[in-house]
């Protein structure tokens, strides 16, 4: 089964987004560019990130990639959406662990932090990794339980 991947960026990271789209298409990955900022001139990264995270939550896509200057803001806003897990990665090992250990659906990166070749390698590693469960499963389950408590506190 092919995974459904989406990508988006703020205006700062459009050039890296285009490079990553081409890289994924050349690798046979089915990727959709949401282009939120292109459709909503003046949109700031929180809107871009929130829009993509909602699509992940609603299962329109299996995984998403968000890019801004550092990747930090995109990770922060994506993690505000219930059941969505995002992490910023600027190295291959962290990108693999983001999937293998944390079952995260969204990878965030910073166009001002890494170069294009490293970004392509990170994306490939993340897309090829799958959640291993094992010793990480109890931790991820606890994260999900604590998330439910945060979003749905008892009255």
Q: Where are the domains of the chain?
A: 5-151
The answer, as to whether pTM is greater than 0.95, is: no
Query: Which residue is catalytic, options 29, 68, 104, 125?
Result: 68
Higher-confidence position of 142 and 134: 142
Residue 27 has pLDDT above 90, yes or no: yes
Closest CA to 20 of 144, 109, 153: 109
Which residues neighbour 22 within 8 Å (Cβ) at sequence distance 6 or greater? none
Q: What is the pLDDT of residues 110-124, one digit of tens each?
A: 999 999 999 999 999
Catalytic residue at 68? yes
Percentage of residues in the chain having pLDDT higher than 70? 99
Closest CA to 24 of 95, 127, 93, 130: 127
Mean pLDDT of the chain: 94
Residue recorded with tokens 């990747």: 71
Burial class (CB within 10 angstroms; exposed 0-12, middle 13-18, buried 19+) of 42 = exposed
For domain 5-151, the CATH class is alpha beta
Q: Are 64 and 52 in contact (CB under 8 A)?
A: yes
């Amino acid at each position: 089964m092919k995974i459904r991947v989406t990508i988006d960026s703020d205006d700062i990271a459009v050039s890296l987004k285009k490079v990553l789209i081409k890289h994924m298409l050349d690798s046979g990955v089915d990727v959709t560019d949401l282009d939120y900022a292109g459709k909503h001139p003046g949109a700031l990264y929180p809107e871009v990130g929130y829009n993509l995270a909602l699509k992940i939550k609603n299962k329109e896509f299996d995984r998403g990639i968000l890019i801004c200057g550092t990747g930090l803001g995109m990770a922060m806003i994506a993690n505000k959406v219930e059941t969505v897990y995002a992490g910023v990665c600027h190295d291959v090992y962290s990108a693999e662990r983001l999937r293998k250990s944390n079952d995260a659906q969204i990878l965030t990166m910073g166009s001002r932090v890494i170069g294009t070749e490293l970004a392509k390698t990170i994306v490939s590693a993340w897309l090829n990794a799958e959640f291993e469960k094992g010793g990480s499963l109890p931790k991820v389950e606890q994260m999900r339980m604590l998330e439910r408590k945060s979003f749905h506190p008892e009255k």
